[in-house]
Amino acid sequence: MMQNDLFTAIAPEMEELAPGVFLFQKYIDEELFFNQAMKVAETAPFRHMITPGGKKINVAGTSMGDAGWYSDRRGYRYENNDPLSGNAWPIIPKNISKIISNAADKAGFKDFIADSCFINRYEPGVRLTAHIDQDEQNFTQPIVSVSLGVSAIFQIFGETRGGKALNISLNSGDLLIFGGPARRHYHGVKKLDNFDHPLTGKYRYNFTFRHAL
């Protein structure tokens, strides 16, 4: 009986790691997402934005959707058009929206529809310092993240930057949902290792699907 249980045991599709934090390991079609990121970059290239304080953001970013997250001397905000080109951001493909809404539903967030997807690109040595996502209108809406390529350690702190972090290894194809109390928590990503990934080379990509407007 015990032996049979061992053989038939399957990993759960989703795990709640902390209140409001849901991890779906190897949930995503990596190639589909990677091809999509490359298509977006053709019209809205990855770029290094500037913080309002004048510092270069080491993670390169771009967007798709009705609005894209943007930062320069004038502040953090959502822009309807890509300031680089003046054109609308590429649309979020329907098949991808469905996958994201479906996962949100499984975590208890009914009717989540992303109107914005920010894409981060990390190269070796680059990290994301602890911050809160607070440029969106409605904090009852979760954020759904998809990771691709080289693995990274994601850290979630809590209501303050200090203290002990919950460390989560994010691997290619993982989907992570942040809602409830976790939505307002400080989080960051540790320095990316200099590794090679068959799909993305030295890079790690992260897609954050948001209800921004």
Question: Minimum distance between the CB of residue 29 and Fe ion, rounded to whole angstroms?
Answer: 24
**DSSP H helical segments within the chain, as ranges?**
2-8, 30-43, 94-106
Per CB under 6 A, the list member of 100, 143, 148, 150 interacting with ligand MD3 is 143
Q: How far is CA 111 from CA 69, 78, 115, 205, in A?
A: 22, 22, 12, 26
Measured distance CA(60)–CA(205) in Å, rounded = 10
Question: Which residue, 187 or 197, has its beta carbon nearer to ligand MD3?
Answer: 187
Residue of 22, 154, 203, 209 that binds ligand MD3 (CB under 6 A) = 154
Number of amino acids touching ligand MD3 (CB under 6 A)? 17
The DSSP bridge partners found for residue 75 are 72
Whole-number Å distance between alpha carbons of 122 and 91: 22
| Nearest distance from C-beta of residue 195 to Fe ion, angstroms | 23
Choices 36-44, 81-89, 108-116, 181-189; region in contact with ligand MD3 by CB under 6 A: 181-189
Residue pair 120/200 in contact (Cβ under 8 Å)? The answer is no
Judged by CB under 5 A, does residue 136 bind Fe ion? no
The first and second tokens of residue 191, run together, are 């320095």
Q: Which stretch binds ligand MD3 (CB under 6 A): 11-19, 49-57, 83-91, 176-184?
A: 176-184
CA distance 189 to 109: 25
**Least distance in angstroms from the C-beta of 8 to ligand MD3:** 33
The contact set with ligand MD3 (CB under 6 A) reads: 118, 120, 128, 133, 143, 145, 154, 156, 176, 178, 182-183, 185, 187, 189, 206, 208
